[in-house]
Structures are given as structure tokens and as C-alpha cells.
Chain A
Amino acid sequence: MKYLLLCILFLLLSFLKLTGPLRMVFQKGLNPVQLGLRDTALDLKDAFKFISDLKDIRDENIALIEEKRKLEDAMLNLKNYALENEVLKQQLGMKESTSFDRELLMVNVLGNAEDLSYSTIYIDRGFKHGVSVGDMVILGNSLIGKVREVTYEKSLVDLITSPNFSATVMDIDTASKTQGVCAGKYGLYMEMTRILQVDEVNVGDTVVTSGKDGVFLSGFAVGKVVSVSDLPTEPLKVAQIEPLIDLKAVRKLFVVLSK
């Protein structure tokens, strides 16, 4: 019975927010250990996968060599276009514009073992480092999620596949730049809704944030369209979207700090 009383005592202390320092000390000390363990597990998993997929990797390698050759051709064309673009800009007297001028904070991913749907992750930076609720979490040009909770040393991030995630998006591969709202589903994929029947959405299209919600900056990749539910009887279309990045394998991310 005394153990139960001790638990109640700790619960009371927690209710009164007196366990903060204890949490801070443990998280500060154990975050690097958790990080090391997760990285080791990821490395081991990669090694096992590499051995089991050796034949597929060989085929993939051959395909990649071919793709690399094509990309080199495409890059050469792009270089020519860049040169041409530069000359045109000089001719028109245009200034370089940058839409992204926020400060970025590099964070390590700790995962979240208790969330079986993997719709949330912990990161090893908290309000001590300037992270605040609502901050965007990105990797390269891809949106990864949004900070939901922050403690001194750690933060909880809702991934783009989380049911709590929602953002206004647009399909950049269509001429009309089809707009919609993207929401996470079961920690697995996303759904782009509110697409009119007349608007075009195709499988393989890339969907990016439109910035119209005022929460996310525009132009960050959310995912690729994998299927479109296009029933003529329904007034709106729904597109299923998969993230461009394997969210379970990411190790380092960037938090876009609020100004």
C-alpha cells in the first residue's frame, strides 16, 4: 500500500508542476543515450535490410546508373537554362527574391515508441533552444510536421501523417495549381480533400504547402499523389498522398523557429 501512496504523492507533485526539474535532469542526461540507441538500431536494421535485399540492390544499382546518365543530361540542360536566366535577369534588372528568411534549428529525432501509429515523434530540443508550439519541422524542402508540445529539453512533433495535422496545399504539377486541404490519416498517409470535380489532380503529382492557412510557409513539399477517388456522383474529389520522405528513418530534422 505504501508504494501506491508514493505513486499518488508523485502524481500530486506532477499536478502541482513540481516534477519539472526532475524531468529536466533526466531528459538532459538520457537524451544522448536514447539518441545513440535509436541510431544503433537504425544502423542494424539498415544492415539487415541490405543483406536481405542484396539482389534487388544490384538491379536497382543498374537502373540508377542509367538514371544518373539521364540526370546528367538534364543537369547540363538546366545549367544552360540557368545561364540564360541570369542573362535575362540582368537584362530586365530584376532583384533576387528570397521568401525563406527564418532561422533554422537542427534537431535529432528520438522517435516515439508509445505511439503505435507513429504519427508523433520526440525531438531533442525544447524551449531552452527556442522551440515553441506551432513551429514548422522540415527536412530540405519537405514539410515533416508541426511542434505540438514543448518542454525544457524535448518537444513532441505531430508528423504530416498525424490525424492532428492539416494544411492548405496545392498541386504544382497541374496548370491550374489545384488547391485543397491536406490532413493526416492514421499515421500512414495523407488525404487531400476539398478538390472540385473540375480541378485536375493526377497520380504522381507533387503536392506542396500553399501558405493560405497562415500556419505553414508556402512551397514546402508535402507528398506525392498515389491515388485519386474520382466518383462522378460526389461533388468533391479526394486524393491520397504519400510523404516523399520515409518518416520512420529520419534522424536529423530542422525546426523553423518563430521570429
Chain B
Amino acid sequence: MKKVVTLFFIDLILILLQKSFFPVFFDYRYYIDLYLAFTMALFLEEKETEAFVSALVGGLLADVLGMGLVGVSSFVVTSLLLVLRFTKRFFYRNWPLRVAFALLVFYIYVAITNVENRWNVRHILISCLMTLAFTFFFRFLISRIFNEKRFS
């Protein structure tokens, strides 16, 4: 339960930042999906249960703050995580493949959730690349936090 509450608050902060703070600096042209980046980072750090909880909770929060159906984002991200779990062997094989795969995952997510700008490839691609950069940043933070806990 403690884990779920912690992930709820982390996802809440990330979603508020991604919806109201960061887009202003990019003139609403690019969209960094911090919630997706955090969920992917958890998954890459082999914390699958936490990744699935984050996908569910964060997705619900993202949808509740918008106008669409509640549960769409959770459904899409959870489905993507399930696909990633099944294709893990290929996904972890090498770096370029991992990056390409992650980009594809982000693109599918953005294309599904952002109907009005689905074909604005340049904006979506840059948004995906920035989300990818945040994924590796979060992954680095998560690995540091867990390593410190292990040694203390």
C-alpha cells in the first residue's frame, strides 16, 4: 500500500509538471511525457510491479485531468508494458535497438493519445526524444536511490 501511495504522489507531481509547467517553455509545441518516462525507467530498472502500478495510477490521473475517457492512458501504457515484457529478450539485446524500441513505444503512445496532432511527425518525434532523455535521467536517479538504500 505504501508503494502505491508513494507512486501515486510521484505520478501526480510528474503529471502536473508535464501538463502545466514544462509545455510553457516549449510554447506548447513539444510535450515531455514525464509519467511515461518514469514508468519506462521503472521497467528498465527491473521494477516491473512498480512500473505497472505507475502505469495504472499515472494513466488514471492523466485522464482525469483531461476531457477524454478515463482509463485510456492506463490501458495503452499497461498494454505497451505487457508487450515489452514479452519482447524483453530482444529489447535488452543492444543499445541502439533499445533506444529505437523505446522511441517506437513513445510514438505509438503519443499517436494514440494525441489524436489532433497524430501526423505532426516532427513535433511528436522531438517530444519522443525528450521523453526518452528523461527516461534515462529517471533511470539514473532510480538506480542511484536504490543503490544508496542497499548500502545504507
- Give A contacts to B, CB under 8 Å: 1, 3-4, 6-11, 13-15, 19, 22-23, 26-27, 30, 33-35, 37-38, 40-42, 44-45, 110-120, 122, 149, 151, 154, 156, 248
Is B114 positioned at the interface, with any CB of A under 8 Å from its CB?
Answer: yes
Residue interface bits B65-80, CB-to-A below 8 A is 1, else 0: 1110111101100110
Task: Type the 1/0 row for B1-24, where 1 means its CB is closer than 8 Å to any CB of A.
Answer: 000000000000000111111111
A3-B55, A26-B65, A41-B22 known; A113-B28 Cβ under 8 A: yes
Inter-chain contacts of A14 with B (CB < 8 A)? 63, 69-71
| Set B17, B53, B64: member contacting A3, Cβ < 8 A | B53
Instruction: Specify the main secondary structure of chain A where it touches its partner.
Output: helix
Q: How close is A16's CB to chain B, nearest CB, in angstroms?
A: 11
The answer, among B16, B30, B60, B63, for a CB contact under 8 Å with A30, is B16
> Is B52 on the interface with A (CB-CB < 8 A)?
yes
Answer yes or no: B116 CB below 8 A from chain A CBs: yes
Give B residues with C-beta under 8 Å from A: 16-25, 27-31, 52-53, 55-56, 59-61, 63-67, 69-72, 74-75, 78-79, 82, 113-114, 116-117, 120, 123-124, 127
**Is A8 a contact partner of B71 (Cβ separation < 8 A)?**
yes
Find out whether the CB atom of A10 lies under 8 angstroms from the CB atom of B71: yes
Residues in chain A near residue B27, CB distance under 8 A: 118, 248
Report 9 cross-chain contacts, Cβ distance below 8 Å, ordered by A residue. Answer: A3-B74, A10-B71, A11-B71, A19-B70, A30-B16, A30-B65, A41-B25, A111-B19, A114-B66
A22 touches B64 (CB 8 A): yes
Q: Taking CB as reference atom, which chain B residue is nearest A33?
A: B16
Contact B60 A41 (CB under 8 A): no
> In the complex the two chains form, is A4's CB within 8 Å of B75's CB?
yes
